[in-house]
């Protein structure tokens, strides 16, 4: 027995309270500081806490609240007397062992940074790779189903039916078929149509659907302009860009959301960083589709330049208007510059006769939107 | 006093049979809290937000352990690591659900354009479930006098009620809100326990409606006249808090509050003031950054503009993070701590003697619910 065993700590007016963790009864106790901490309540078997087991629990500033790893988990001893508290703290060497320390914070920071770096690497390298590898493997029926779904949406926006003037249809089919053959796409793998709309645009949907909006035809001066743009869209089909984009965007938005969680303003950060990586991914896909279009047009002995001129007529100069880093397409002037470089004099026959071209322009009938 | 075993030694404690209502005291230090959330916000920044689990835990530990009911402070025993694990589990469960949502959505869209929009509602239901389960986690980590609170009841049953009431609120343009809150609170409180005491909620929708119906009428006005909105919202929140506190029962213990209707005016306006000030500073910073970039002779126009807008963009990002960080601190100070303190100082606890000898029971709940709530971005009390 040590000499401290008999020492009776001064009991002051401030009571020591013990909660045994089994009932909410407030027990006023006295303490004896010997080999271990004895918690004494008249008429009740004393409770003994070994100093090594005693830990600090959260408490208001004026109270020392203790718990013991060998007692019921919610048993609490509350010491309000400062001198007594100091004596006990001096004996309990492992009092604060379980608390968050500088080292544990550093550990959290370290692991978080590691997790963030790995997520960023996955976003920059893993997801694009997965998208490139997986997109061609997506079964045709699934791709077609997704395409059907987006076609229904598109038609809800742009009007129910595609344009069906017979002569225009024939000209359009001829143009599309020539491009498709040059592109080496399967016969059954694509459908194309013209939709009535006042927006000059063209797009490809999953499952081999290509749509040209009527206003683009109105703005076009010759078949080569439309052909170049169709070839660009065929490039998207050939490269499975829709499925790649879907996988890529789904993957990155999930991962970026995971990274930023619910930090204040995180939705803005998530939105911005998503837009940034998705725009750069999309620009790359667009550049590749342009390359594809240039090849096709050369194969047909036509120049890719007219298509870029048509785009330039529609969009005008784009640089300098806002943050071009968020643009989903390369800037039109850059595309025009590139296509101009690839401009060769025509060596092949015209893709459509004048009559066919006029029929194509009238495919949506006289009904102007 | 016939039980000698219970008589304490030393100055004898007076035990008056009809106890006067006891108060709830808050002993937390505001500066300490500010330092904690500032440091926490910075750590959140360098950890890309992962520190949020530990910061939320620290905030709760501070608020709980400084809140003393009848002289005995509460304690929060939850830990950040539990929240992180709960979040990771929730992610593992949410991922296939998101995928299923996507695939089902496609089938709907094939049938009819935009037909999948109502599927969004299923996420609302899931969010309600998460709110219930998150509350269960927090309660089982709340300890007072060595006994924990706990909850039974089913998260899905709660979610079902919340959905039906939500529909009714929607159909009545918000008029049914008091009854929705009363019903949901009754469900939550009746499944709340402190040891072997069962909770209950006695507030009724009609009383809440009488306290706030005119706010409902004024809501369209607040949308038109911007400065009226914070006043209106502060009025609504104060009335809601008071009505809620007045209705709470646990065993024989009841609460009451004398929260004045204008209690939150100052707090909301302080937040708006800080927000305006910080936005102006951010605006100046942006202007300065743009000027600096322009002075350096970098134009964001012309060919290859994409590559050259990067310096300005990164300066914007840094400024934005600083802004978000500062707003984080402001909101936690005013909307969490100060509201907590303001509400607590008005609370009185009646018949606390009924909780003098409660037997501990109830099991710890997992943090999965908090994880879902985090993953779905829902919050509830």
Residue A218: its pLDDT value, please?
87
Q: Is A365 helix (H, G, I), strand (E, B) or coil?
A: coil
Please state whether the predicted TM-score (pTM) of the whole model is above 0.80. no
Domain-embedded: residue A281:
yes
Domain-embedded: residue A97:
no
- Cβ <8 Å between B46 and A152: no
Domain-embedded: residue A104:
no
Give B327 to chain A, closest Cα distance, Å.
Answer: 8
Per-residue tokens: A299: 């194969």
Query: What is the DSSP pairing of strand A27-33 with strand A16-19?
Result: antiparallel
Residue A79 has phi, psi (to 5 degrees) of: -110, 120
Assess A45–B contact: CB distance below 8 Å, yes or no.
no
| Residue whose token pair is 């908090």 | B370
pLDDT tens for chain B, 381 residues long, are 344 444 444 445 555 556 688 889 999 899 999 999 999 998 888 887 788 889 999 999 999 999 999 889 999 999 988 988 888 888 888 778 777 777 777 777 666 666 666 677 888 888 899 899 999 999 999 999 999 999 988 889 999 999 999 999 999 988 899 999 999 999 999 999 999 999 999 999 999 998 888 888 888 887 888 788 888 889 999 999 999 999 999 998 999 999 998 889 999 999 999 999 999 999 999 888 888 877 776 655 554 555 566 777 778 878 888 888 888 899 999 999 999 999 999 999 998 888 888 888 877 788 787 777 776 666 554
Give A178 to chain B, closest Cα distance, Å.
Answer: 30
Chain B residue with minimum CA distance to A263: B49
Q: A153 and A27: one domain?
A: no
Q: A355 and A216: one domain?
A: yes
CB contacts < 8 A (A, B):
208
Domain boundary residue among A76, A91, A106?
A91
**Would you say residue A75 has pLDDT above 70?**
yes
Q: How does DSSP assign A19-66, residue by residue? A: E-SSB---EEEEEEESSSEEEEETTEEEEEE-GGGEEEE---TT-EEE
Helix axes A305-315, A223-238, angle to 10 degrees: 100
Give A256 to chain B, closest Cα distance, Å.
Answer: 10
Q: A31 and A176: one domain?
A: no
Q: In which element (H, E) is residue B2 found?
A: none
Give the nearest partner residue to B46 out of A25, A109, A260, using CB atoms.
A109
Q: A154 and A303: one domain?
A: yes
Domain boundary residue among A91, A123, A149?
A91
Query: Which 192-231 residues of chain A touch chain B by CB within 8 A?
Result: none
**Would you say residue A13 has pLDDT above 70?**
no
Contacts of A116 in chain B (CB under 8 A): 47-48, 50
Residue A2: its pLDDT value, please?
42
Strand arrangement of the beta sheet that strand A37-41 belongs to = A44-49, A37-41, A27-33, A16-19, A76-79, A64-68, A54-57
Residue B305: its pLDDT value, please?
56
Residue B376: its pLDDT value, please?
66
Provide the CATH number for the domain around residue A31. Answer: 2.30.29.30
Q: How does DSSP assign A246-287, residue by residue? A: HHHHHHHHHHHHHHHTT-TTHHHHHHHHHHHHHHHHHHHHHH
Average pLDDT over residues A265-280: 69
Q: A261 and A172: one domain?
A: yes
> Which segments of A159-222 does DSSP mark as H helices, in order?
166-183, 214-219
Average pLDDT over residues A57-85: 91
Give the nearest partner residue to A259 out of B48, B75, B327, using CB atoms.
B48
Residues of the domain holding A70: 3-91
Give the nearest partner residue to B114 out of A22, A65, A153, using CB atoms.
A153
Average pLDDT over residues A85-94: 90
Angle A160-A163-A167 from CA coordinates, rounded to 5°: 160
Q: How does DSSP assign A94-118, residue by residue? A: TTTTTS--HHHHHHHHHHHHHHHHH
Q: A292 and A185: one domain?
A: yes
Domain-embedded: residue A106:
no
**Alpha-carbon gap, residue A134 to A122, rounded angstroms:** 15
Q: A13 and A157: one domain?
A: no
- Cβ <8 Å between A19 and B374: no
Assess A15–B contact: CB distance below 8 Å, yes or no.
yes
Residue B255 has phi, psi (to 5 degrees) of: -115, 155
Q: A143 and A238: one domain?
A: yes
Mutation target vs B (from A263, A272, A276; most B CBs, 10 A cutoff): A263
pLDDT tens readout for residues A142-166: 888 888 888 887 777 776 677 888 8
Q: Virtual CA dihedral for A275, A278, A281, A283, nearest 10 degrees?
A: -50
Residue A7: its pLDDT value, please?
47
- Cβ <8 Å between A30 and B9: yes
Domain-embedded: residue A103:
no
Residue A313: its pLDDT value, please?
86
- Cβ <8 Å between B147 and A108: no
Give B217 to chain A, closest Cα distance, Å.
Answer: 31
Q: A155 and A292: one domain?
A: yes
Residue B194: its pLDDT value, please?
93
- Cβ <8 Å between A152 and B112: yes
Give the burial class of B31: count Cβ atoms within 10 A of its Cβ; 0-12 exposed, 13-18 middle, 19 or more buried: exposed
Give the nearest partner residue to A60 out of B73, B301, B359, using CB atoms.
B73
Contacts of A28 in chain B (CB under 8 A): 8-10, 13
Domain-embedded: residue A366:
no
Give the nearest partner residue to A319 out of B43, B47, B301, using CB atoms.
B301
A120 pLDDT band, cuts 50/70/90, is: confident
> CB–CB of A208/A147 below 8 Å?
yes
- Cβ <8 Å between A74 and B148: yes
Contacts of A100 in chain B (CB under 8 A): 54, 58, 80
> CB–CB of B124/B163 below 8 Å?
yes
> CB–CB of A26/B356 below 8 Å?
yes
> CB–CB of B147/B358 below 8 Å?
yes
- Cβ <8 Å between A115 and B95: no
Residue B160 has phi, psi (to 5 degrees) of: -60, -45
Domain-embedded: residue A96:
no
Q: A321 and A203: one domain?
A: yes
Q: A183 and A240: one domain?
A: yes
Domain-embedded: residue A319:
yes
Give the burial class of B201: count Cβ atoms within 10 A of its Cβ; 0-12 exposed, 13-18 middle, 19 or more buried: buried
Q: Does residue B328 or residue A254 have the better pLDDT?
A: B328
Q: Is B366 helix (H, G, I), strand (E, B) or coil?
A: coil
- Cβ <8 Å between B75 and A57: yes
How many structural domains compose chain A? 2
- Cβ <8 Å between B113 and A337: no
Q: A9 and A138: one domain?
A: no
Domain boundary residue among A91, A125, A144?
A91
Mutation target vs B (from A57, A60, A256, A280; most B CBs, 10 A cutoff): A60
- Cβ <8 Å between A260 and B109: no
Give the nearest partner residue to B147 out of A11, A74, A149, using CB atoms.
A74
**Would you say residue A225 has pLDDT above 70?**
yes
Label residues B2-28 b or e (16+ Cβ within 10 Å = b): eeeebebeeeeeeeeeeeeebebebeb
Mutation target vs A (from B22, B57, B306; most A CBs, 10 A cutoff): B306
**Alpha-carbon gap, residue B148 to B142, rounded angstroms:** 6
Q: Is B9 helix (H, G, I), strand (E, B) or coil?
A: coil
Residue A259: its pLDDT value, please?
66
């Amino acid at each position: 027995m040590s000499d401290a065993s008999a020492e009776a700590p001064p009991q002051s007016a401030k009571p020591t309270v013990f909660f045994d963790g089994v009932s909410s009864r407030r027990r006023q106790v006295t303490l004896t500081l010997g080999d271990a901490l004895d918690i004494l309540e008249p008429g009740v078997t004393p409770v003994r806490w070994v100093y090594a087991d005693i830990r600090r629990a959260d408490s208001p500033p004026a109270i020392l609240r203790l718990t013991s790893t060998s007692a019921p988990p919610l048993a609490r001893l509350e010491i309000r007397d400062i001198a007594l508290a100091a004596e006990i703290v001096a004996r309990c060497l492992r009092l604060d062992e379980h608390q968050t320390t500088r080292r544990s914070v550093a550990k959290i920071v370290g692991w978080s940074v590691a997790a963030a770096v790995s997520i960023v690497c996955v976003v920059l390298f893993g997801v694009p790779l997965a998208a490139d590898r997986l997109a061609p493997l997506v079964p045709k029926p699934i791709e077609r189903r997704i395409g059907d779904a987006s076609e229904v949406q598109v038609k809800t926006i742009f009007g129910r039916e595609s344009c069906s003037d017979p002569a225009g249809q024939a000209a359009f089919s001829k143009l599309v078929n020539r491009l498709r053959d040059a592109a080496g796409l399967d016969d059954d793998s694509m459908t194309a149509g013209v939709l009535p709309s006042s927006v000059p645009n063209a797009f490809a949907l999953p499952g081999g659907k290509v749509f040209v909006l009527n206003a683009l035809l109105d703005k076009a001066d010759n078949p080569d302009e439309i052909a170049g743009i169709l070839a660009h869209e065929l490039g998207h089909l050939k490269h499975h860009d829709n499925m790649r984009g879907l996988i890529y965007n789904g993957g990155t938005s999930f991962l970026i959301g995971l990274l930023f969680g619910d930090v204040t303003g995180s939705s803005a950060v998530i939105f911005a960083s998503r837009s940034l990586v998705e725009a750069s991914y999309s620009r790359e896909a667009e550049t590749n589709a342009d390359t594809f279009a240039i090849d096709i047009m050369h194969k047909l002995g036509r120049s890719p330049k007219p298509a870029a001129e048509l785009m330039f007529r529609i969009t005008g100069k784009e640089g300098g208007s806002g943050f071009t880093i968020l643009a989903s397409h390369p800037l039109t002037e850059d595309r025009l510059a590139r296509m101009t470089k690839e401009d060769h004099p025509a060596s092949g026959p015209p893709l459509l006769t004048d009559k066919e071209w006029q029929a194509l322009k009238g495919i949506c009938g006289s009904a102007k939107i | 006093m016939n039980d000698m075993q219970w008589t304490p030694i030393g100055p004898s404690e007076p035990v008056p049979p009809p106890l006067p209502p006891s108060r709830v005291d808050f002993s937390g230090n505001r500066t300490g809290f500010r330092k904690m959330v500032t440091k926490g916000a910075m750590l959140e920044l360098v950890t890309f937000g992962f520190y949020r689990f530990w910061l939320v835990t620290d905030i709760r530990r501070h608020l709980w352990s400084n809140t003393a009911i009848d002289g005995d402070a509460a304690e929060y025993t939850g830990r950040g690591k539990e929240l992180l694990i709960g979040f990771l589990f929730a992610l593992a469960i949410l991922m296939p659900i998101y995928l299923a949502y996507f695939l089902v959505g496609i089938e709907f869209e094939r049938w009819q354009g935009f037909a999948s929009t109502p599927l969004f509602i299923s996420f609302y239901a899931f969010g309600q479930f998460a709110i219930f389960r998150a509350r269960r986690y927090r309660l089982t980590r709340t300890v007072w006098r060595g006994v924990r609170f706990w909850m039974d009841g089913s998260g899905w049953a709660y979610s079902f009620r919340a959905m039906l009431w939500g529909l009714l609120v929607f159909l009545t343009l918000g008029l049914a809100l008091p009854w929705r809150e009363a019903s949901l609170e009754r469900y939550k409180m009746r499944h709340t326990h402190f040891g072997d005491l069962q909770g209950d909620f006695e507030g009724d929708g009609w009383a809440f409606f009488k306290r706030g119906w005119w706010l409902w009428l004024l809501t369209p006005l607040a949308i038109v006249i911007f400065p009226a909105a914070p006043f209106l919202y502060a009025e609504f929140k104060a009335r809601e808090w008071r009505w809620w506190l007045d209705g709470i029962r646990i065993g024989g213990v009841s609460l009451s509050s004398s929260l004045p209707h204008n209690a939150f005016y100052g707090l909301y306006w302080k937040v708006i003031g800080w927000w305006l000030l910080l936005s102006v500073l951010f605006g100046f910073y942006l202007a300065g950054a743009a000027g600096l970039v322009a002075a350096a002779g970098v134009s964001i126009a012309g060919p290859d503009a994409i590559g050259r807008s990067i310096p300005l963009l990164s300066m914007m990002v840094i400024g934005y993070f600083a802004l978000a960080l500062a707003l984080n601190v402001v909101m936690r100070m005013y909307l969490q701590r100060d509201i907590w303190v303001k509400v607590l100082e008005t609370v009185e606890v009646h018949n606390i003697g009924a909780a003098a000898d409660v037997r501990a029971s109830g099991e710890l709940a997992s943090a999965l619910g908090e994880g879902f709530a985090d993953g779905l971005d829902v919050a509830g009390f």
